[in-house]
A and B are shown apart, each in its own frame.
Chain A
């Protein structure tokens, strides 16, 4: 009966995701944490988070739980001696990170393409298919393609191919999600918005070397310059400015240098790849790689049935238990690159007072909400950064533990005193909050009633408005919402995701937060070029953001890969998924 119930819960999750489909938010199983997972302590026997092949999961905050009995793997899976099947939720068949922004398409691309730069497991930039050098003033980047990097058709990758991808990004007709302007390449504007036919700052030095000159140094530029190696000869041999349509026609028949070669794509169903024997880091050990589309909510079921070898499943006590009980499943649980938050529009004077925001933070029982939704598998967060990032430092930050008295006191200090009806009032105005969120979202479904209840206790009435994802996005981006709940995604570099949000003129600053000190510090953080020099600056930023509370930070949840133990050699973290090193995986 228990299992039948859990499948019903799954079905509800499916329906929720059908209606909520945010992409950003998670449709977790909110059934509570009664089936407590005693397994976290039991996993201590798995040699402290180090895999059999020696990868140190614990170092990157990945909770690694080994399989107890790999021989229980279903026959269907064990019979696939030379292939590996990866389950993904969705694909659009756009096989280029330049044009698509679906993360599952990106996973596929990571196995088919090499980049000039990769994120390391902790989010730092490391050389990938090129060696790179940055001049001391941070204005000049030199990329040299490594020896042996060859396209699947045998042609060596050249600086011309690298140049080609930058020209694609800079093209006036380019309509993908990447924003190359943030790298400040010299002469880019004249090309993109003017009549120039070449970009001054991009120079092919020789067969293997490309030099990029920027107008402005930036510590985050390296990631803004990250591009895949796509063979120019295949996509558009005589590419001219504006020829984007020609390139797009070729996106579904890719040509890269990556670990696996494209074989066949069945729209919306599966992608079949084959090992690239000439891969410059060494031939992959598994011959065939298949990406198969899994309906949402059935990720774990399919791995358990042997239809797939690895998939990303919702982290919930039920799923954890089922995966552990199966015996042959390895779990790699890692903190999600993002956090959920409540935002208040500071154009409204009642929210522009920091004491009010702090009071609202104290009165929000974040711990109870997070525990109820995710059990032990999510953390309450106090700063807007992932605890995996090199920039994370919450030393000396306020944890805003739930405290209604303190909240009331702060509201009193801010001048919002209780009136005769027991409501907060200031200058004849009663404090109310109109709160917008998505219906049937696992978090808000739990959080909103708790919030409403506790805020009422300190004399504030909350009314709820339900909006679907695109509507919430549009209204928030036009700053039309008074208060809303959303989740933010984090990028490996601490600047590229959040500076846009917290700087007073940031394009994703949707709540009119304005602190000149923060603007200044984010600029300073970019002007420094080494991670060591940038660290203290972000520490200071997070300390201020922890006090200012432009958002009420709520939680950072986790995701998990569930994998059939018949395949070993996964190396994964929040910032660098196992796809980058999939050539190391082998069938045991």
Chain B
């Protein structure tokens, strides 16, 4: 097992390098750059524009840029963000936790809601309950987040005034302890709900399919034949096997917990990494964009590894060599 993990981690190195080259090329081949994008509004002279392009390394040929970037990156230095004027790693670590907070709450909600209704849908296949949940799930998958977000804001913040419109804390407060937690919870509940609702459908369908498949197997028929109650059959015998694909889904979800939710964050004014990354695209903040893309790439690889390991943990038939 440990051998397997070590080997997989080693294999990741060339993949990460390859990914970094591809991302770097894409980012740098997009037309437009940080200085030109603001030259007009700042009314700079031609000399100043050139001087700044030199300072920011925009005039370097692309291979020189890459070598500069990778030689910093191997030492953990991802350069300074153009817009934030701070090291990229610092910018990411400042904002990523706000994204993580709403994402993890959403994720827990998703698990708590999607798995039970997935099981109910499967055990009551083609019943009214099944159709009801399936329709809800499909609505969740299809609704754009900005629409759902704004409807929730309209209902709960504007009309009912139960919850705040935006931000993470009430402006100007410096609560501590339980008061802080309650205030924070009030702010994150709507964005988390939006994120959860959008993803519940997928996980619910996963669970439903998987339970359906298991329930038709011989050993379940045997369990029923021994006279076990339906509850025990489903929750003790079927569920364990049915959840195997669900566990891998959890592993794959790892990067999405940190990657930020661009639209939801923008609508709710959450200072998360998704919003920051989008700004980096529109302003052509190359170092930040590169650092963030690599961060997500590495998380994706780790997520895949995690999901493979979990697979072996929950399913004794799978042996990692």
Q: Are A177 and B165 in contact (CB under 8 A)?
A: no
Interface flag for A179 (CB, 8 Å)? yes
CB distance from A582 to the nearest CB of B (A): 15
Interface flag for B18 (CB, 8 Å)? no
Interface residues of B in 29-55 (CB under 8 A from A): 30-33, 36-49, 52, 55
CB distance from A74 to the nearest CB of B (A): 8
Q: A18-B266, A18-B278, A470-B37 are in contact. Are A295 and B172 (CB under 8 A)?
A: no
Interface residues of B in 161-185 (CB under 8 A from A): 161, 164-172, 174
Q: A11-B146, A470-B284 are in contact. Are A94 and B84 (CB under 8 A)?
A: yes
Interface residues of A in 252-295 (CB under 8 A from B): 264, 266-270, 272, 288, 290, 292-295
CB distance from B90 to the nearest CB of A (A): 10
The residues of A that contact B268 with a CB separation of less than 8 Å are 295
CA distance A288 to B283 in the complex (A): 33
Q: Are A507 and B39 in contact (CB under 8 A)?
A: yes
Interface flag for A251 (CB, 8 Å)? yes
Q: A290-B171, A474-B31 are in contact. Are A301 and B158 (CB under 8 A)?
A: yes
Q: Are A470 and B146 in contact (CB under 8 A)?
A: no
The residues of A that contact B8 with a CB separation of less than 8 Å are none
A101: contacting residue among B33, B38, B95, CB under 8 A: B38
Interface flag for A46 (CB, 8 Å)? no
CB distance from B234 to the nearest CB of A (A): 42
Q: A179-B44, A491-B43 are in contact. Are A305 and B31 (CB under 8 A)?
A: no
B85: contacting residue among A251, A488, A489, CB under 8 A: A251
CB nearest to A498 among chain B residues? B43
CB distance from A274 to the nearest CB of B (A): 11
The residues of B that contact A507 with a CB separation of less than 8 Å are 39, 44-46, 49
CB distance from B155 to the nearest CB of A (A): 10
Contact with A along B144-160 (1 / 0, CB 8 A): 00110110011001100
Interface residues of B in 83-110 (CB under 8 A from A): 83-85, 94-95, 98
CA distance A293 to B55 in the complex (A): 31
Interface flag for B71 (CB, 8 Å)? no
CA distance A472 to B284 in the complex (A): 13
Interface flag for A216 (CB, 8 Å)? no
Interface flag for B276 (CB, 8 Å)? yes
Interface flag for A417 (CB, 8 Å)? no
Interface flag for A552 (CB, 8 Å)? no
Interface flag for A80 (CB, 8 Å)? yes
Interface flag for A547 (CB, 8 Å)? no
Interface flag for B222 (CB, 8 Å)? no
CB nearest to A290 among chain B residues? B172
Interface flag for B262 (CB, 8 Å)? yes
Interface residues in A, total, Cβ within 8 A: 70
CA distance A403 to B166 in the complex (A): 48
The residues of B that contact A272 with a CB separation of less than 8 Å are 172, 174
Interface residues of A in 78-92 (CB under 8 A from B): 80, 83, 85, 90, 92
CB nearest to A99 among chain B residues? B85
Q: Are B52 and A175 in contact (CB under 8 A)?
A: yes
CB distance from A561 to the nearest CB of B (A): 17
Interface flag for A4 (CB, 8 Å)? yes
CA distance A286 to B32 in the complex (A): 44
Interface flag for A581 (CB, 8 Å)? no
Interface flag for A408 (CB, 8 Å)? no
From B32, B41, B150, B161, residue with most partner A Cβ within 10 Å: B41
CB distance from B272 to the nearest CB of A (A): 8
Q: Are B43 and A496 in contact (CB under 8 A)?
A: yes
CA distance A401 to B262 in the complex (A): 44
Interface flag for B19 (CB, 8 Å)? no
Interface flag for A8 (CB, 8 Å)? yes
CB nearest to A103 among chain B residues? B41
Q: Are B282 and A468 in contact (CB under 8 A)?
A: yes
Contact with A along B264-289 (1 / 0, CB 8 A): 00111101000110110011100000
CA distance A18 to B147 in the complex (A): 14
Q: Are A267 and B283 in contact (CB under 8 A)?
A: no
Interface flag for B263 (CB, 8 Å)? yes
CA distance A284 to B238 in the complex (A): 70
Interface flag for A181 (CB, 8 Å)? yes
CA distance A179 to B52 in the complex (A): 11
Interface flag for A33 (CB, 8 Å)? no
B37: contacting residue among A178, A469, A488, CB under 8 A: A469
The residues of B that contact A83 with a CB separation of less than 8 Å are 172
CA distance A305 to B276 in the complex (A): 26
Contact with B along A80-116 (1 / 0, CB 8 A): 1001010000101110000111100000000000000
CB distance from A523 to the nearest CB of B (A): 15
CB nearest to B34 among chain A residues? A470
CB distance from B276 to the nearest CB of A (A): 7
Q: Are B150 and A85 in contact (CB under 8 A)?
A: no
Q: Are B147 and A11 in contact (CB under 8 A)?
A: yes
CB nearest to B48 among chain A residues? A179
The residues of A that contact B49 with a CB separation of less than 8 Å are 507
Interface flag for A148 (CB, 8 Å)? no
CB nearest to A292 among chain B residues? B171
Q: A175-B52, A474-B36 are in contact. Are A94 and B43 (CB under 8 A)?
A: no
CB distance from A295 to the nearest CB of B (A): 4
Interface residues of B in 243-274 (CB under 8 A from A): 262-263, 266-269, 271
Q: Are A14 and B33 in contact (CB under 8 A)?
A: no
Interface residues of A in 348-375 (CB under 8 A from B): none
Interface flag for A182 (CB, 8 Å)? yes
CA distance A83 to B269 in the complex (A): 21
Q: A101-B41, A508-B39 are in contact. Are A268 and B271 (CB under 8 A)?
A: yes
Q: Are B269 and A8 in contact (CB under 8 A)?
A: no
Q: Are B31 and A301 in contact (CB under 8 A)?
A: no
Interface flag for A537 (CB, 8 Å)? no
Interface flag for A386 (CB, 8 Å)? no
CA distance A308 to B36 in the complex (A): 35
Interface flag for A226 (CB, 8 Å)? no
CA distance A302 to B84 in the complex (A): 26
CB distance from B46 to the nearest CB of A (A): 4
CB nearest to A83 among chain B residues? B172
Q: Are B171 and A85 in contact (CB under 8 A)?
A: yes
CB nearest to B154 among chain A residues? A7
The residues of B that contact A29 with a CB separation of less than 8 Å are none
23 A–B contacts from the bound complex (CB under 8 Å): A11-B147, A11-B150, A14-B266, A18-B278, A90-B279, A99-B85, A101-B42, A179-B48, A267-B94, A268-B276, A269-B167, A290-B171, A292-B172, A295-B266, A305-B164, A470-B37, A470-B284, A471-B30, A473-B32, A474-B32, A477-B40, A488-B40, A489-B40
Q: A268-B95, A268-B271 are in contact. List 16 more A-B contacts (CB 8 A).
A: A8-B150, A14-B150, A14-B267, A21-B282, A85-B172, A90-B279, A270-B167, A294-B269, A295-B166, A304-B158, A305-B158, A305-B165, A474-B37, A486-B40, A507-B46, A508-B39
Interface on B for A, CB 8 Å cutoff?
30-33, 36-49, 52, 55-56, 83-85, 94-95, 98, 146-147, 149-150, 153-154, 157-158, 161, 164-172, 174, 262-263, 266-269, 271, 275-276, 278-279, 282-284
Shortest beta-carbon contacts, A-B, top 10? A268-B271, A470-B32, A295-B269, A292-B171, A177-B42, A21-B282, A507-B46, A290-B172, A474-B32, A11-B150
